Structure 1
């Protein structure tokens, strides 16, 4: 949701996108449209070149180009043809290289570094022929190698050129389309998302990072497990005193030795990172610089819809959700008499919790301003999520066939990342608390994993265990998350304003804020609500995700569509009022928030903003209320609020109009 920290003319602001660098870019593109086409050609050309295309970030660059097309700053068909021509020319150069050198191309320094990608490209081409040229255009790192393979295998030019031209044109259209649609619907996206979109993008980036880290780490160790085992054996022979302890873990006669060597290597790396990171924090005795920066960014992104989403995601690391899955797994292991697995499972959770709570009691770190409760170093929620999901992955992963063994670890990484991001967003922890919690959880999981793998070689049927753990966890989460959302949000409310204003000064001069407010009121908000209801205003309940999804319902008229919430300094509206306008597609809206300052007397202070809004159909999919330029006078009923009023002991003083 857009943050209300500027003029109410949100739609006009979104259309102008007032940013110096962006304005300069648009001015350059407007003044040099042909040069902009050349830039698009160059991006697509470099992406298509063999080897070079691996490192060119074509997707985000072409998304930006598509956005400029949608905003009307670049001609769409011209940019599409430039991108297609660049892709075709780059593929043609790769085809010529392959045709010129033939099989000797493999010895060129450009290709010797990536023999695996070249082999994959050759397999795809041999399997699909001309179709492979089109398919490869949309297959990541293989894309720039297939045209070179086609040339190397002497595919006739009259067969290659049409397939390459079609592939280049379709690729350009597909890669430009998302940005094109985004730019064309920017007002709709800004009205629905704005800072919510930034939060979701940040969450997606965190998940992608963890996913890639887990996946590629697992693949690397899977490919190098035997080599690690051989090196470990050589080390034990070269260092007989210390080696005898390591030899107990990596007996080459045991089938588990390779996985134990991998776990031991990971343990060494994770323990070293955790010890070094924790020592660094303890020596400083205060949060790191990036801790405060991340906390400030997260606080600036607070908005009502994202608040509810993050509070629900934080429930993944709650005791009811983790406890339900853990008890279900323990019960199944006990029922099947897997006593060794059950003992390690119980030790992982119980001892992990004791270690985390003990460290939290021993380490005294300043807490974020929003962490009035639920704070600790390291993060208990993040650590226990890592331990529970991580050790469960150790229990069941080896029972999966082949490459499927990575899935339990990926689930553990995703669950931990969701909890970590949600608690960072809510302000429950510093980033260093979250990192330390993850590392501590990984270290403990690896310690228990090595102990379990060393003493247990029996396999067992895992499908019932997997269903019991994940199923009970999901059911408990579905039950607990909706019921805990409000309590979680109350626990991590934004802090009260730091600025204190004398009551008399406020009454004479107002807030003295640069931000525009049409109403300032001190006293009982219910009295203000009653007076506004009497004047024909109606109160809209806070819009949740179900109400927001209602904008997609064609059967609802504009009057039934909700006004989307806004935030002021992290606080949602305390009161949102609306009434019908002169036409069916227009309404008047009054938003009221807690003021960004405190009064010295302690009386509650409120600020409000009056807007005219119009219903607009966006993308033929949804109807949104969007604000009109703030050039209208306040209605008479709002102007009459100025002054003092009261009912019994309830008092209200209001100032109307800007300071």
Structure 2
């Protein structure tokens, strides 16, 4: 297939007009009513963008063809709607699937003229919106102006990802490898689109099943005298939203049961708590300063003082506008979540993770107060103030509020301030307080005027964000220090380091991103890293750029390059990336040496040693699933990797090399450690030895 693709790509390169015509018809078909429902035009445009970025076809003419095709397709759809407006319902596919027309009409009524622009980017209504605009007798000039502008953005937006990816690939790959990369990208794009469609259909099926169950359960509760108490609990005057009371009832019961289960697991050290250390270690491995600068302000949003300001401001606004019943339930929800969170913390006394410098300053860990408070208070605000909004706008408001709460919860995990069980406990407790209060609150209609809602929201935002800004201004620098990663330190003398062996010291191990030891450290360096770097270059070692994007391009292109088999994720030690990564081809195998900064300090020099590994890269293969005998490590090369490095370094005046023996420690039961032979190379620069 690849051999057939190469001539086709070359032919397209020398006949760009064919590519323009094909692009025109793809965009045209995607925009025509009915046809656009089955043509995966968006996916194909991404593929065309890849061809543009790779330099196979020209950019300006191809993008222009897509824009013209999209505009003419919409104009034709508009004419169909305008011409057949009287009996559009009798035309296929509206006759077969009337819901399509209803969905398009509802979208157009909701957004008006700007629906032509928005509909261009909403998949299910994209080819229907121009038809509806014609049916609604929208002036053609108004339609054309909006449609042309949307087509310009649409064609560019859908081609841009492919252009960027194709351009980056052509810069990294050889000319012969580009066709294979393009083929893989096209297949991957189509596969992802089909998978997305399948998942959406599955979700829609289960949602329909649940709604069917809701209606039957509501009817059963209303018709069963024995369930009169339950009937009173789920009563609401909103006839169109009675099933939502069932949702709140289920949510209240399930969140309470899950919270009790999590409390039991935390108290007994059950299986759920076994996931706490690995996940905490994983988030520590992701820490970078750029993300810290986002997560620390986010975590301040859920802090107790801004949330208390939000509670008081909203409550005061409701009382001022004489919404006494709404204010009662607002304060009830707030007092419940503040009281239960503090009470459970004091009762259980769960310690926090110790991986950050300020862990002991933050009190008890379970449940996460930030998560619980944000879920309960922001969720209650969304429920109280969304009754006058259309259903779609209400959905957007709920998504925003709960999305913000999810980001606050994520910030607690990322910064290492909470265990996974803490965040799950806070989530369940917040949902329980919110759903229980909302279930009772919705028993009566609460007529909140829109202008009063806007006033209260403004007051609440000023109070919440005002306190947040003050805290951020006063405590941000201290927060960066408090949330800094902390690793256990070890201080030893130079003689102890030089005399280490298996009798008086255990070897060091590198953990994976979940804290599990996967590889024995077999290099230790005391001294100047640049001295080692220059010696490696002198003996044929080359710097290795473990860029995930570069490795991805090599792998997709299937180039005959051993770097293509490297994993995308950089290996770490104590949450740090390597300071040095070099490789060398030995016996046609890839030998890699890496060095990281450790937490071991040597006295009296007060120098931190560097630790690392030198090993053959063992690309994954099904045979690695078989466990190897620990006393018989599998070596890819004919020479042990440590022997190769020792040979390259020992005949130099700038370095002193010594071998420490740890034969009593077998290789770990992991494919990464199969080159371990019980020896550790201790490397010292001569300046350090002289001291």
After alignment, is 390-399 or 164-173 more displaced? 164-173
CA offset digits 1:411-458 (Å, max 9, x no partner):
532431331232232233355643443343122112112333437846
User: Are 1:302 and 1:570, in contact at CA under 8 Å, matched by a contact in 2?
Assistant: no
Aligned to 2:297: 312
1:117 corresponds to which residue? 103
Higher relative contact order (CA 8 A, sep 6+): 1
Q: Deviations over 1:545-592 (max 9, x none)?
A: xxxxxxxxxxxxxxxxxxxxx99868799xxxxxxxxxxxxxxxxxxx
Counterpart secondary structure, 2:127: coil
- C-alpha contact (below 8 Å) 2:492/2:602 kept by paired residues: yes
How far apart in 1 are the matches of 2:39 and 2:347?
Answer: 48
Decide whether aligned partners of structure 1 residues 108 and 356 sit closer, same or farther in structure 2, where only a CA change above 3 A counts: same
State the Cα RMSD in Å: 6.4
Who is 1:142 aligned against? 125
What's the secondary structure of 1:595's corresponding residue? strand
Tell me the CA shift for residue 311 of structure 1.
0.7
* CA offset digits 1:583-641 (Å, max 9, x no partner): xxxxxxxxxx9923434879662669xxxxxxxxxxxxxxxxxxxxxxxxxxxxxxxx9
Conservation of the 8 A alpha-carbon contact between 1:380 and 1:437: yes
Using a 3 Å threshold, how does the CA distance of structure 1 residues 232 and 97 change in structure 2: closer, same or farther?
A: same
2:257 corresponds to 1:266: no
Q: Is 2:581 the partner of 1:595?
A: no
How many Å separate the matches in 2 of 1:485 and 1:308? 10
* Equivalence for 2:471: 480
**C-alpha separation between the residues in 1 aligned to 2:150 and 2:298?**
41
Deviation at 1:48, TM superposition (A): 4.6
Indicate the residue corresponding to 1:386 in structure 2: 375
Task: Tell me the residue number matched to 2:63.
Answer: 80
Q: Return the alpha-carbon distance in structure 1 between the equivalents of residues 51 and 103 of structure 2.
A: 34
Q: Work out the CA distance in 2 between the residues paired with 1:164 and 1:331.
A: 47
| Maintained 8 Å contact 2:574/2:598 | no
Three-state SS of the structure 1 residue aligned to 2:598 is coil
Residue segments in structure 1 that go unaligned for 5+ positions in a row: 1-23, 188-212, 524-565, 574-592, 609-640, 644-652
SS of residue paired to 1:352? helix
Match of 1:419? 408
Using structure 2 for the length normalisation, give the TM-score: 0.52
2:591 equivalent to 1:605: no
Residues 374-523 of structure 1: pairs in structure 2 closer than 5 A: 374=362, 376-398=365-387, 409-430=398-419, 433-454=422-443, 457=446, 459=448, 461-496=452-487, 503=494
**Any residues of structure 2 matched to 1:43-58 within 5 Å, and which?**
48=31
The 3 A distance-change label for structure 1 pair 240 and 124 is: closer
CA distance 1:62–1:365, shift in 2 (3 Å) = farther
Q: In the aligned structure 2, how far is the partner of 1:110 from the partner of 1:500?
A: 78
CA distance in 2, matches of 1:342, 1:237: 30
2-structure distance, mates of 1:133, 1:402:
20
Task: Please state if 1:348 is matched with 2:328.
Answer: no
Task: Give me the whole-angstrom Cα distance separating, in 2, the residues matched to 1:279 and 1:52.
Answer: 53
Moved more, 380-389 or 47-56: 47-56
- Report if aligned partners of 1:134, 1:167 keep a CA contact under 8 Å in 2: yes
Corresponding residue for 1:301? 286
Distance 1:354 1:133, change over 3 A: closer
Provide Cα deviations, 1:372-391, integer angstroms capped at 9, x if missing partner.
45573432111111112222
Contact 1:105 1:111 in 2 (8 A): no
Instruction: Supply the distance in 1 between the matched residues of 2:686 and 2:35 (Cα, whole angstroms).
Output: 62
Distance 1:168 1:139 in 2: 13
How big is each residue's C-alpha offset from its partner over 1:19-40, in whole Å with a ceiling of 9 and x where there is no partner?
xxxxx99x97898466896997
* Aligned mates of 1:260, 1:135 — CA distance in 2: 28
In structure 1, the residue matched to 2:583 is none
- The aligned counterpart of 2:645 is none
Aligned-partner Cα distance in 1 for 2:48–2:90: 38
> Aligned pair in 2 of structure 1 residues 39, 300: CA closer, same or farther (>3 Å)?
farther
The CA distance in 1 between the partners of 2:150 and 2:390, in whole Å, is 36
Counterpart CA distance in 1 for 2:375 and 2:90 is: 49
**1:12 alignment counterpart:** none
SS in 2 for 1:427: coil
Give secondary structure in 2 for the equivalent of 1:480.
helix
Bigger Cα Rg: 2
Q: In the aligned structure 1, how far is the partner of 2:110 from the partner of 2:458?
A: 37
With 83-92 and 324-333 compared, the bigger mean Cα shift is at: 83-92
How many angstroms apart in 1 are the aligned matches of 2:107 and 2:334? 46
Work out whether residues 382 and 398 of structure 2, in 8 Å CA contact, stay in contact via their aligned partners in 1: yes
State whether residues 488 and 599 of structure 2, in contact with CA within 8 Å, keep that contact through their aligned partners in structure 1. yes
Structure 2 unaligned residues grouped into runs of 5+: 14-18, 171-199, 501-506, 511-518, 529-569, 578-594, 612-653, 657-682
- Contact 1:270-1:439 at 8 Å conserved across structures: no
Offset of residue 299 of structure 1: 3.6
CA contact (8 A) 2:248 2:439 kept: no
- 2:173 maps to none
